[in-house]
């Protein structure tokens, strides 16, 4: 159980932050950047939830909890006994939810603009941030071990948020599609 009595510790005033194993890293470290961007993704999903209906909100709540698991995973370098890690079952759940939503959607005929309902637009923003979290995590994985399920989860998450935005827009008039060259002067 997490218990926080004091929010500021002043230990980061030197430009470092503590990882789960007790080691300290510069705040610019690639691992720290990766879990920081996961936190941004989580905050964007929290904003999306302000617009969500009940079934959508339940999916997003599960994802937010998973993102705390993912943050803990990324903040734990090396092999630490009992470390909280993303499990393949969490990736599989995302895939099942993607498949269920996608089965109700028409095939795409163009690229989708990040727009539509307030929920869909917020999901697109979360998707873009999740893609950055994936890039940051892949960069960190070039120099140290990051578990494959963590990287897979981020990849599926951005797919999930994309499909969910389409699913939401389908209930309210459909996707907002890109029209190539629509504003060119002839």
CATH of the domain at 132: 1.20.1200.10
Query: Which pLDDT score is estimated for 97?
Result: 98
* Under 8 Å between Cβ of 121 and 39: no
- Averaged pLDDT, 18-45: 92
For the chain, the domain total comes to 1
pLDDT digits (tens, 9 = 90+) for 123-161: 999 999 999 999 999 999 999 999 999 999 999 999 999
**pLDDT of 52 over the 80 cut:** yes
* 46: in domain: yes
Residue 22 forms part of a structural domain = no
For residue 131, being part of any structural domain is answered with yes
- Report the C-alpha gap between 141 and 151 in whole angstroms: 9
| CA distances (Å), origin 31, targets 24, 25, 39, 41, 125 | 11, 9, 13, 15, 22
Give the position of tokens 């893609």: 131
Kindly give the interhelix angle for 148-170 and 88-102, rounded to the nearest 10 degrees.
20
Structural domain contains residue 103: yes
Domain span at residue 158 reads 27-76+85-170
Average pLDDT over residues 46-70: 96
Residue 117: C-alpha distances to residues 12, 99, 138 (Å): 40, 22, 31
Inside any domain, residue 42 = yes
pTM over 0.85: yes
- Confidence check: pLDDT of 1 > 70: no
- Give every CB contact of residue 141 below 8 A, 6+ residues apart in sequence: 151
Strands (E), the chain: 16-18, 24-26
Q: Is the residue at 184 inside a domain?
A: no
Look up residue 81 and give its DSSP letter. Answer: T
Q: Are 24 and 16 in contact (CB under 8 A)?
A: yes
Flag whether pLDDT at 2 surpasses 70.
no
DSSP state of 184: -
The reply to whether 185 falls in a domain is no
Rounded to an integer, the average pLDDT of 77-103 is 95
9: in domain: no
Across all residues in the chain, what is the average pLDDT? 93
Q: Are 121 and 114 in contact (CB under 8 A)?
A: yes
């Amino acid at each position: 159980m997490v218990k926080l009595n004091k929010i500021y510790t002043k230990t980061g005033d030197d430009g470092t932050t503590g990882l789960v194993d007790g080691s300290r890293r510069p705040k610019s470290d690639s691992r720290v950047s990766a879990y920081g961007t996961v936190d941004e993704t989580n905050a964007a999903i929290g904003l999306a939830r302000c617009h969500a209906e009940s079934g959508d909100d339940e999916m997003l709540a599960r994802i937010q909890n998973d993102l705390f698991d993912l943050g803990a995973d990324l903040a734990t370098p090396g092999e630490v006994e009992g470390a909280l890690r993303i499990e393949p079952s969490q990736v599989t759940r995302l895939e099942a939810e993607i498949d269920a939503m996608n089965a109700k959607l028409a095939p795409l005929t163009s690229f989708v603009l990040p727009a539509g309902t307030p929920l869909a637009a917020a999901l697109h923003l979360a998707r873009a941030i999740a893609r950055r979290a994936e890039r940051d995590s892949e960069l960190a994985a070039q120099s140290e071990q990051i578990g494959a399920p963590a990287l897979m989860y981020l990849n599926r998450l951005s797919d999930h948020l994309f499909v969910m935005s389409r699913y939401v827009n389908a209930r309210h008039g459909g996707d907002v599609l890109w029209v190539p060259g629509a504003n060119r002067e002839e």
